[in-house]
Amino acid sequence: MNVVFHPRYLEVYASNPAASPGRLEAILEELRHLPFVEPEAASEEDLLRVHTQQHIESIKHDRHLFEVASLAAGGAIKAAEIAITGEPAFALIRPPGHHASPDHCWGFCYFNNIAVALAKLKAENKIRSALIIDFDLHFGDGTANIFTSGPIVYFHPSSHSRKDFMTAIAARLERESGYSVLAISAGFDRHVEDWGGELTTEDYTTIGKLAKDAAERNCQGRRFAVLEGGYNHRVLGRNVKAFLEGLE
């Protein structure tokens, strides 16, 4: 498992839970045994494949924020590029991205990291299609707005219980086929000790294993994940580690 990370992700770029000090540090402590890869920032050309020029300019008003957000998108690109070689990858990045639409954003997000990465692979003819599984507590409206139809499919389970949620993910991964890469918006705020109060740490291992098995059946094992939510620093690191143990 390759972990894509840049020291600048540790910078406090805003006053929200995704940018709070200690969040990534808690994850780094658990993943220190894995190989790390440093990304470059996404180019404006990369961002323009999914965002409008007006939206990009609005983020540029805060130069520090723009630099870190572009680097986060670049981290997702790097993870996707590693994945298509057949090696799994996890983008340990922030800001998160799944609430960023083509022309607006909210929910601690600025650029849609996973969408930027997949759009780049598609534009460069490195993939034909993709399946996105989003297990964050919150629906990734930005990702859904970007990929409204076509070869890149977005799925976020709608559930009212832990059992329904896990069943929905397993069923969708079993049903989908024919995609070139499996991409995962990995949010950990559904945990029993986080905002959602629903999933156990072991459930994240199960989700990772389900994703690995699906990728091996359908796309030569090509799979990567990017960090989205997860805000209880005390449990976040071990939840990420559990997921990656399943995904690897």
Q: Give how far the C-alpha of residue 129 lies from the chain's centroid of Cα atoms, to the nearest Å.
A: 17
The secondary structure element, H or E, covering residue 126 is none
Q: Catalytic: 99?
A: yes
Q: Name the amino acid, one letter, at 4.
A: V
Catalytic residue among 6, 55, 98, 99: 99
The secondary structure element, H or E, covering residue 141 is helix 141-146
Which residues touch 125 (CB under 8 Å, ≥6 apart)? none
Distances (CA, A) of 223 to 25, 38, 196: 24, 18, 26
Class of residue 21 by CB neighbours under 10 A (exposed 0-12, middle 13-18, buried 19+)? exposed
Q: What does the alpha-carbon distance between residue 83 and residue 183 come to, in Å, rounded to a whole number?
A: 9
Distances (CA, A) of 28 to 88, 134, 202: 18, 22, 19
> Left if phi > 0, otherwise alpha if psi is -120 to 50, otherwise beta: which for 15?
beta
Q: What does the alpha-carbon distance between residue 24 and residue 52 come to, in Å, rounded to a whole number?
A: 29
Q: On the CB side of 248, how many CA atoms lie within 13 Å of its CA?
A: 14
Active site residues: 99
